[in-house]
Amino acid sequence: MKIFFYEVSEKQKIIERQLRTRKILTNNDMDSTSNCQFSSRPQSSGFFERAKIKFGLTHFLTAGLLLLLFFVSGQTAYSQGLGDPIFVEDFGTINDGETQHVFNDTRTGTNGRGVYFKFNSLNYITSMDFYTPQRWNTSPFPYQNQYRSSAPSIPGGVSYSTSPAGANNNVQNGNWGPVFANINANQGTGRGGYSITNDSRGYYQPYFAVGPDHTSGDYSGYMLLIDAHSSTTLYFDRLIEGLCAGTKFRFSVWIKDMNGQGDAKPRVNFKILNGSNNNLIAIKPTTDGDVSPAGTWKQLFIDFQMPAGVSSVRLQIENIVGTQYGNDLAIDDISFAPLGPPAELVGLDAVCVGEDPVLKARITNNDPQFTYATNYFQLQYREADSPDNWINIGSPLSNLGTSTDFVTFPNPYTIANSPLDPLTGYEFRVVVAGDPQTLENEFCRVVSPKFINVYRHEVALEAESEEICSGSSTTISAAVSNGIGTPTYTYVWEKEVGGNWEVIPNENSSTLNTGALSESTTYRAKALVNNCPGSGYSDPITVTAVACTATIEKEITNLVSVPIVTLPGQTIDYRVTVSNPNSVDLTGVVVTDLLPDGTVGVLVQTQGNDDDGILSQNETWVYTTSYVATNFDLQNVQSLVNTATVDSNETEPISDAASIGVLPSVDCENENSSYGFQCNAQDITVSEFYLGDPNTGVELESCVAGSTQSAGIWTVFGGANQGGNNERYSLLVKYQLFVNDVFVEDVILELFGSTNIPRGVPIKLTDYSWTCGDKIEFKDFFMSWSANQNNWQESGPRCIKCFTGFVVNAPLVANFESDYQCGSNQVAFTNKTTGGDNSSYEFTWTFGDNLGTSTASNPSYTFPGPGTFNVKLEVTDGEETTSITKQVTIDEAVTVSGSSNSEVCFGANDGTVSITPDGGDGSYSYSWTGPNSFTSNDQNLIGLSPGTYEVKVTDSKGCFTIEEYVVGAGEQVGLPNTTDKEYCKSDEDFYYIVSPTSANYEIVYYSTEVSIDGTTTPLTVDGNVVGEYSVWVSQRNTTTGCEGARKEVEISIKDLPVLVVQNPGPVCGPADIDLEDAISEGTSQNAVITYYKLDGQTPILLGDSEVSTSGTYIIRATIGECYVEEEVEVVISECAIAITKTVAPTTADDCVEAGDELTYTFVVRNTGTVTLGNVSVSELSFSGTGTAPAITFVAAESDNTEGTLAPGEEATYTATYVVTAQDVEAGVITNQARAAGQFGQNTPVTDDSGE
């Protein structure tokens, strides 16, 4: 046993202090359930790099061998495994719930820190007095009388309190620090004293150095503070239980010299006794150097061996200072931690799903003072970042205690009945012990951790647009989550072609440009790192290619009531509306307008913004433009056509046209050309037309607008009086008839023929059925007449006259129209009064029941709200007055309410939208648009795919509202977690490795990708049949029934290698047997062969194939992950034979003469453990000159025949010889015999006798 004491640097102290908590030390090598593991980290820095100092050895005869070490200056570094302390005493922390006193010291230099004392003493310190500020004047002694005649006062600036509430708080003045009891100063008798405090400052005795406890270093913890007395020897005696029997331990303590005045330094014996019999195990007396300089915490160690069968020790601290002056010390952080050989667990840092992490373990220091006889290695695991306990996996492996060779664990993910999820990373560790039973003893083993990551990263795809126009492209991005670190991934992109996945060549980045698509295409991707695909392919993403189109509408916004151009200079106003009904944006959008004269019109945008040429989905742009009709237009075309066109990158050009008719104007010159010339005589004139009674010509009276009357259109022709040369004939009249500004027809009248045209009297041009209030207008009025009595069609000189037009005079009829903006209470009124003298109209409007009035021609009025109101218009032209009353109805605004239902399952296209309209006039029409060019005029929709649906609800007045409803995609059940597995041929059935991604899902198994019927019963593969097997699996929501896509999962059953062995023949030892020779023909040529020694039930891996001891050995043949084992028996026997020779006579006094007969007796004994055959005795040498003696077999003990000897059996042989004279003359006869035997077929055994 060796005992080591050494110091630790301040840096190491800080690290250790950071790692320590009360009672238990923690570090990265700890087991959360263990107080006693050993570090296996490389011993190169930080907490695990300690300078060790070896010392000379002094022997003590106690219960065992005791080695006492002292500090020396030389240092030699070494390393071993140090486990978590099983026992730690740090004396607690302030405010830990135990009763305490505190002096709240606010004096200068104290930083306001309080000085805390524990109230309760320690039951294992009985030889010293326990001091708290409260005990100054209590029994057994009036302490103040032992030290001072009166109690010292509490200094100014110091207040006193006790916690917890209710504890004794009666201290006013007195000692507030430990002071020894000097009972008889002359005799040097007395008692030491101690306190448990957080700060050594402020005590009554001024020689105590100021400073905090060691554990915290910041005054938040307690320490043991001692004022020792020379008459006190044993002042600390504590039983420490729960240690590991037969295990090496390290005792550690922190000590500090508290005397700052140069008095005697504290010296103590640290003694470790057997807890069962108090026999000394180890002792350490300190020196002045161990505690120098004063006021500095120093750490001391003792390494010792626990006796077998003993699990407790007694720690004693003895004072060995001979004076009561000085000897003031503090003690903190007493601990016992086990020692063992450092171990390491190595393997791959990260693996693919199911890949072997190649975990190997070994001890790294085979110094015999720390090693076991045999190393047993147990692999354990727990989930990453989990506080759960460690769990054994697999069986222990072992090797010799001094071996630093690795033992290799089988793949923990694939061993039989492995509980590990192949998709999950785990933290592994190896525990090492000297016996299989102590592997489970958390206090007596070495621990080494290793974290193994599994590349289980997942790939998610996102497209810039999942719906594009045919012929366009988009970019798909792959994002990796749950990755390990920041590696560089290589991507594999695939697209679905004809139901199969095809790799897209030369695409290995995280983005993919689809190129121009003419049809919908589905993609997926996986990301490789170190050739590992993680969780495999992403969920598929489909890019839908649709036939895109834009809509364009060209309309005329004026000349609505008279949709015809009648005069040059008329302006035609146009509106162009362009919309994008697609679910994708249109780019490069250009809108052009071609005017009727072939020039490009200037479009003024009034809605939207076309600066970037992007027309977003469901966006609308509105433009205006205009055109002024020319004389050319009115004389040469029948209609004016304006065409607008929209084009984009995604669509073909689309156009829409608006046209308006042209009524040609009368050209008097052209008309006259048919008649030869124009006369200048203006002898027929006309100035007005009027509506009159069809029979009498009396002007019509006022009537109710809208009523019908029979009338005639009358006029009075003027001109020269009749008679003589003033007679005129064959009046031809042409005009365009307009009613209410609307063209009705071209009219040609042939009047009077050869009859003289009457003048100055009412003449009826034509009968007419007049609707009261209609405005009748003649435009482009032309008339022609002749001075001759020729008919209207005869050529010849005719007089003509042209007029722009006439409004036929009619009775005054009040009328109006109303228009209100939807959703508003404001109504615009338009005067439609006709007849009378329109230059003198005066208007009086009355709204509702005297709600308001107006005299404007076309007023607007805001009514108080929806409802039906009477509106009266009274009109006068200075001669007559008329009025009309109409009802105006203001409706509530059109509204719509509704709801949408998403798909139940993704791709089912069973979404619905239901709406209920309200407001307006109650008569509604519906116009729906939606994704993929969806349109409908139904009120409610069913069978919808996911997307946004817009409805325009319009009443019969044109009032409308627009609402959107979103139909969500149904539950998209993703692919289950699967792992393709390889198994070795065996008698068990293997399940496909499939797990759902949610607790709500169940797995459905299908025999093929397109099978109709599936099963939820897990499918298995017969492990006895070698081959490749697969099924298709999906997962289904057990609540909704929604099922995801299918995924193939595979199982491969690998054949086992062939191993043919035969037991080696028995041999005599010592001998080396090469187990390789036990392998026979027929064994798989490519198998890897390993050899094990069977120790009880535990196989121990051998370094090579040669063995030198008898026993059962295992030969393993491995191909890939599959192996077979066969046992072979090695018999190495002890083969030995011994021969003894006697001769008669045998005494020195016997003399022989020539002719005497000598009898030689040979006893041959089998001293080995196996039967020998072919046993014989022969002469090696004989000095006699006579006939050589013949050796003959006499008998054997077990009546064996000659030549066979069982173990331990003897056989006797004899020979005789007659002495010759030459022999007598020579004076001596010598001979030497050899006993020989044979073991087996060819192993000889011999022994030679003496001469």
Q: Give yes or no: residues 70 and 187 share one domain.
A: yes
Mean pLDDT for the chain overall? 81
Secondary structure, 3-state, 975-1044: CCEEECEEEECCCCEEECEEECCCCCEEEEEECCCCCCCCECCCCEEECCCCEEEEEEEEEEECCCCCEC
Span 881-908, pLDDT tens digits = 999 999 999 988 899 999 999 888 888 8
Out of 244-253, 744-753, 939-948, the most confident range is 939-948
Q: Give yes or no: residues 190 and 290 share one domain.
A: yes
Span 784-801, pLDDT tens digits = 888 777 666 555 567 778
Domain contains 117: yes
Residue-level pLDDT at 161: 65
Domain contains 958: yes
Q: Give yes or no: residues 520 and 562 share one domain.
A: no
Beta strand spans in 420-489 (E): 426-433, 446-454, 458-463, 467-469, 475-481
Domain contains 112: yes
Rounded (10°) CA dihedral 292, 297, 303, 304: 100
Q: Give yes or no: residues 1225 and 1076 share one domain.
A: no
- Confidence grade of residue 45 (pLDDT, cut at 50, 70, 90): very low
Domain contains 4: no
Out of 105-114, 143-152, 379-388, the most confident range is 379-388
- What is the CATH number for 404? 2.60.40.730
Span 1-42, pLDDT tens digits = 222 322 333 323 322 333 232 222 222 233 322 333 333 332
Residue-level pLDDT at 145: 42
Share of the chain above pLDDT 70, in %: 83
- Confidence grade of residue 258 (pLDDT, cut at 50, 70, 90): confident
Bridge-based pairing of strands 313-319 and 268-274 is: antiparallel
Asked if the model's pLDDT at residue 1214 lies above 80, the reply is yes
In the listed set 306, 338, 370, which residue is the last one of a domain according to the structure? 338
Residue-level pLDDT at 1240: 81
CA atoms within 13 A on the CB side of 895: 6
Q: Give yes or no: residues 391 and 311 share one domain.
A: no
Q: Give yes or no: residues 1148 and 1168 share one domain.
A: yes
In the chain, how many domains are there? 10
Share of the chain above pLDDT 90, in %: 31
Residue-level pLDDT at 23: 27
Structure letter (DSSP) for residue 323: -
313: Cα separation from own chain's centroid? 51
What does the pLDDT average to over 78-101?
75
- What is the CATH number for 1006? 2.60.40
- What is the CATH number for 478? 2.60.40.10
Q: Are 300 and 5 in contact (CB under 8 A)?
A: yes
Range of the domain at 406: 341-454
CB atoms within 10 A of CB 129: 24
Residue 1041, both tokens: 């029934």
Residue-level pLDDT at 33: 28
In the listed set 546, 575, 610, which residue is the last one of a domain according to the structure? 546
What does the pLDDT average to over 1211-1225?
90
Q: Give yes or no: residues 856 and 736 share one domain.
A: no
Phi and psi at residue 965, to the nearest 5°: -135, 135
Domain contains 386: yes
* Nearest alpha-carbon partner for 390 in 25, 86, 32: 32
Q: Give yes or no: residues 531 and 588 share one domain.
A: no
Span 1227-1240, pLDDT tens digits = 888 889 999 998 88
Q: Give yes or no: residues 292 and 172 share one domain.
A: yes
Residue-level pLDDT at 184: 53
What does the pLDDT average to over 477-495?
90
- The answer to which of 108-122, 265-279, 823-837 has the lowest mean pLDDT is 108-122
Domain contains 168: yes
- Tell me the whole-structure pTM to 2 decimals: 0.38
Prior bond of 152 cis (ω within 30°): no
Q: Measuring CA to CA, how many Å separate 389 from each of 349, 520, 642?
A: 22, 52, 84
Q: Give yes or no: residues 871 and 765 share one domain.
A: no
Q: Give yes or no: residues 1081 and 1184 share one domain.
A: no
Span 812-846, pLDDT tens digits = 999 999 887 777 888 999 998 888 888 889 999 99
In the listed set 1103, 1133, 1163, which residue is the last one of a domain according to the structure? 1133
Residue-level pLDDT at 680: 58
- Confidence grade of residue 722 (pLDDT, cut at 50, 70, 90): low
Residue carrying structure tokens 């016996």: 435
Q: Give yes or no: residues 961 and 1005 share one domain.
A: no
What does the pLDDT average to over 616-644?
86
